[in-house]
Amino acid sequence: MGSNGLGLLLEEYHSKIATEWRRAVAEKLGTREPALNFAVTPLLRELIRALDAGIDAVRTREGWKRCAVLIRSSASPGQLAREFNLIHRCTWDAVRQGGTAVVQSERLAADEWLNEALAEALDRLERVRLRAASLAELGAPLVIRRSTPPPLPVRRPTSSSRHHSKDGAAPDTVLELDPVDG
């Protein structure tokens, strides 16, 4: 089977893999809030996209970056690694249960992509932690203040608003606004 075939096979099993991964995380890790909870399905789709595009696309960083932002930033690196390990296990269990043989080079390409996705996720986790630590060193919490809106313009009736229309009804009031000096 070529890597395109492996991509199609994983596409067929991706919902089963995600479901089994969620079950395995709950059973084996006992985690209520998995770090990859929002990222597991997009991660599998990016893996499928990379395998369908060929081996060169497996080594691109774009798919990893798109998924890394979906990972819970308060997770520990160990938890993240364990959850990625379960993705590997659930992926290959689904393929094995499907009865399809996968060439070792294709399996290595998929495993390499998942390992690089883990590395990207760990790098992003570290960047987030460093950024939070640098903000904490400042001592004061970061407060974002909204600027006060400009004052409302003064209403002045126009000369046309004093006149009534032919049917005797008062026309809609037209307001002339003064320019707001900034």
The confidence score (pLDDT) of residue 24 equals 93
The confidence score (pLDDT) of residue 18 equals 93
Q: Which helix (H) or strand (E) holds 40?
A: helix 40-53
The confidence score (pLDDT) of residue 93 equals 93
With CA atoms as reference, report the closest residue to 10 among 55, 38, 44.
44
CA gap 50, 30 in Å, rounded: 31
| Average pLDDT over every residue of 33-60 | 79
The confidence score (pLDDT) of residue 15 equals 92
Question: How far does Cα 165 stand from its chain's mean position?
Answer: 59
Could you count the other beta carbons within 10 Å of the beta carbon of residue 28? Answer: 13
**pLDDT tier for residue 105 given thresholds of 50, 70 and 90:** confident
The string of pLDDT tens digits covering residues 130-181 is 888 887 777 656 555 556 666 777 777 666 555 555 555 556 666 677 777 6
CA gap 121, 78 in Å, rounded: 12
Instruction: Name the pTM for this structure.
Output: 0.66
Residue ranges of domains in the chain, CATH in brackets: 3-137 (1.10.490)
